[in-house]
Structure 1
Amino acid sequence: MSLNTFPVGDRQKIKLLVLDIDGTISGISNQVRQPVIEAIAKVKQQGIPVAVATGRMFCSALRFYKAIGAGLPLICYNGALIQDPETNKVHHHFPISIPLAGQILDFLEQPQYRDQMTVHFYIDDCLHVQDMGEDTRKYLDRTSAPIRVVDSLRERLTVEPTKILALSENLELIEELSADICATFPQDKLHFTKSSPNFFEITHPLANKGFAVQYLAETVLGLKSENVMAIGDNFNDLEMIEYAGIGVAMGNAPAPIQRIADWIAPSIEEDGVVTALAQIMNGGIRIDGRLGR
């Protein structure tokens, strides 16, 4: 879809802006750049509230939430947890059942995966791992997540995990895992997605950003899907881009995500969100010296 085909007739209806974090408002620097912060502030000045929807942990997402001044409940773990940072009220928590989590662990411990993949369990907003490998170190460098190294993940299955993540630098292995696990576990029992080529994320079947954004829009704010603009960059953003009246994919998004979007913004390193937000500001006014195309 061309940058010149923004759905002009719909932008006046927008009453909620929902933003992903990694690859959307935060790139290589792992920070929100000042032009993006200023563009979001101008949208808020128009009376449009801003929400964050991310695959990150609640605690890991908070600094981004604060950086852009989001004021709505925070959608994290790809929608498995919706929690208000101001009041700590939990609106929704959809963890994976203990029996299913055990079956997933059995699956991931098969010989073809065990030695080439790292498994993360997220319990009570804390990362649990068995081994502090290189994959986990890189993950911690970016997320600054609280971590607990345990002798056995299976021993932690007295509490339902919010999310399970399998990660590997072997991208072919991730694709093989994706096909195998989707063929093994019914889609009505679990939700599978990727927020990065080397991440395979497993959550409760109701845990997706589309359902979470629908909850914020319709239940919390009394809006309709046509009043929502959502911007994301990866497969875990698919459902919210589909739900939103205006669904925007970043220029760095995979081709399948770009194909389902209503509009494609420039890439994260080009501050594509700034250009996208210019489209809903009085028909494309200037934001930080940029003109909406």
Structure 2
Amino acid sequence: MKFAAFSGVFIAHSIQEAMKLTQKLGMDGIEIAAREPHLSPTTSAPRIKGIKALAADLGLEIPVLAGYMGGFSTASDQECEQAFDDFNRLLDMGGELGSSMIRVAPGGPNAFLAHDYHYAKAAHWLNKCAEAAQEYQIKLVLEIHNQSLVETVDSSLKLLHLIEHDHVGMIHDAGNMYITETDYGRDSIVNLGKHLFHVHVKDEIRVAEVGAPGTFLNLTHRGEEGFLQSRLGEGAADHQPMFDALKEVGYNGWITLECHAPYPAYERLAHDFQIVKKMLSWEHA
């Protein structure tokens, strides 16, 4: 397994500073959040070349460009065309940066509120994205995410079965799945099978009130609920069964740490990285 930092954790820093902090953490790569000030569909070619050169100097890979475009299931046709154009620009950047995956958002609503037509429309545009990605040999990754069509393994597989390309797969995210109250342990890894392309790691916990730093509201099957972004081991999402399952199935892909707890960015990622290494029983943990 290889480890990356999510640049969105360092969004208060420039992308150059984020990359240097990632190397200081001892990680293998950085997953770049495709929004300013780090990178976006409007980023210029000289900036992309600068990011590529710095990554080479630091010995960092850029496995994923975490796109925010998509929302196909509920967007207008014009909005879908714009998202598709944005995706194509990210493809060019991903090819230049040596990225193997680009994240795309299928859209909402929550799976328990969605209809078949939501899945059909998302699949139509995701198929177009997949066709465009073929010549770059880049995979599309959809993040299992609360408040989306793909907030459980079952709803993820429902959408994937409508997609005609095998280079479209899922990002497992136990923190998001904790919010949804769906299984994120061994069965989730085993049932995703060949569709598991990538893993995100962060922790959360339910709270009675929001307003404090790190808290947010989310729509779940219970209604509006409050959550606190937490460091690993301080929230309620038990990642150990997931890590055990990754070892069991021989997962050798990327794991991105993206803790958004209300602590300094470097400190929270350093904390989570140590916890992850202990969970994986690394000798030097």
TM over 0.5: no
Sort the TM-score into its range (normalised by shorter chain).
0.3 to 0.5
Relative to its length, the structure with more helix (as a share) is 2
TM-score by length of 2: 0.33
Between the two structures, name the one with larger relative contact order (CA 8 Å, sep ≥ 6).
1
